Structure 1
């Protein structure tokens, strides 16, 4: 049996806690030193590191099966097609989509959302229709809807958040009306770590027959996702957030909606018959996959999905919650004047913070000299940061392989940085 034809093992017990020390051995990059110090990688909300099995899957494909997919009768093309379509089934299983026909490969969450805006939105929305987004959205779930609203005369309405960074569900319910056609919200905020109640958001949206899109880029790595239970119409995710490669992602869409949507991009692969008089289009999922995709990256993303299922998203999430609570307590006790932006109960492994008289960029540059990688800036979430009265934060974000010892070193390093900036 080829490695691509192996059945995904989802029967692994997730009751035992993660063996983090053993798990870290799967990630070659974690043995690096930065500026003469062991790497402490806390920029996981931007991109996760990759386990050896994912690296090997991509390398194996390129060394042994590299060819274009779907179009060739030769052996390599058949192997490449099998590997790519197996990856589609792995992603289907990861989010429990009813059919592999509902798994559309994209370049990432951003392209997935733009696909919905340009195909479903342009064909279904008209002047006067309303779109609801939350204040905590990533720019990828704001800008496409703004562009569409300007083009078609739509109204964009914003669901507020409270001072903890929790979505105001009463305000959301009040905003829903018979003009609401789309609700587009993040499963997990990349800037605040807030985990939104997507099941309830979807249930309420359906009372006004609105379509629901969930930006799951930060959701899938931290929370077990079942799109059938959530009930949303679209769910988007990115490969590099789930320990896979950059440049690949997925749009899940309900089959009936996808069938009714026109193609977004034209070219090879998405066609059935082409003539100068008329072109007919391929069926799902290929109708939305014009051109040659990032095949090796797709294969590797499928292997990352399998690794995530084998490791156990619930176990990862539980460990990250421990780290987040521990880091929050350590930061507040060590740096009493730190301000953490977003303290929603049950938040995912993200800590955005500011320190008085210390610019976020300076914090990031100086702490890197000590071997600690964090993110600084607006995190592509300007509106919510402005809501909290800041233009930028420093952000530490956790993954399965981070440890309490790394948290301790991060806090110690932040104290040193603070002293440098005093």
Structure 2
């Protein structure tokens, strides 16, 4: 009976006995050698895996995680091939189509009429396509798209995009319809970075980065940020060296796509608080990317104010009007803002003299940064169900922040270079090397 059980599980009975897996001692010897080789190979792969620095991208939906992953591919993995670029065209066309459908639908809710008579036929065409789930690339489709986007009513609706759900890249691609509709169109790096596609599975990329004469191996996991996708996060918590948490600085006037009653900024702060206090992630460093500072600037220019968000949550956050931005905080933001290379100087103090950045943009970004850092210091709690920890609990737990514009390759490259040193140092500390 014992021999039968062992045989069922691939076990090996004593050599020379009937009923064993091996008919001779020679076969048993070969099997042992094979087992030894496999064990050696597994140990080798395990050691290589331990050397690979595992990073995890977290954040709410549409915070820019996938865009950062694309930047890593462009910066560290030789970018996108021509075939990969052509594959992105269908996503870009879908972005154009869904953007116009979102605005046409919102115009009814916001009581904004179409201004041009011929635009009505174009709106009917787009709505009919939506009902049939058709992705059209005919000249008729593109003519209707251009006609709708040129309508003053649609432009007015776009200016009120914070009142409904509209992807960030809407204007970027709608302004490029003439180029996109060309038969010879091939998306540029910027087109690929701007292209929006919901992440519904765990995306994984690997790359090597030269450091101190050696290649450091990185493994990056990007997981979906929507509420329904977060249950997958725990699958990739194991052996994580650092978490790159994406906080959207421009989302203070928006609600979640999956829950229109919930503020995106509140959700981002709550998730960050959960990650910071998660016992499984206690030894994991967090790199906070305060993202979309370019979109924040656009919103401030349109008259959107953070105070409107704060008024909806009285008594929860510190007073905005009396908050003060230090010269160092201003310099940190200004040096990260897109276009900074045009104003760079050997003297760092000159970077704060940029006149193209609205002071309200700096103050808003710094204020939102302070909300996250207050959570880190235990001075602010958004989710009251989270059990607070004493400061000693976070003794070896660190959080560094960076202002980012995920679609700006120069900005992201600079930030990633700064992160690399921190990540490697923390990795060495975990193994007692430092």
TM-score, normalized by length of structure 1?
A: 0.22
Q: Which has the higher contact order (CA 8 A, sep 6+)?
A: 1
More strand by share: 1
Q: Which structure is larger by alpha-carbon Rg, 1 or 2?
A: 2
More helix by share: 2
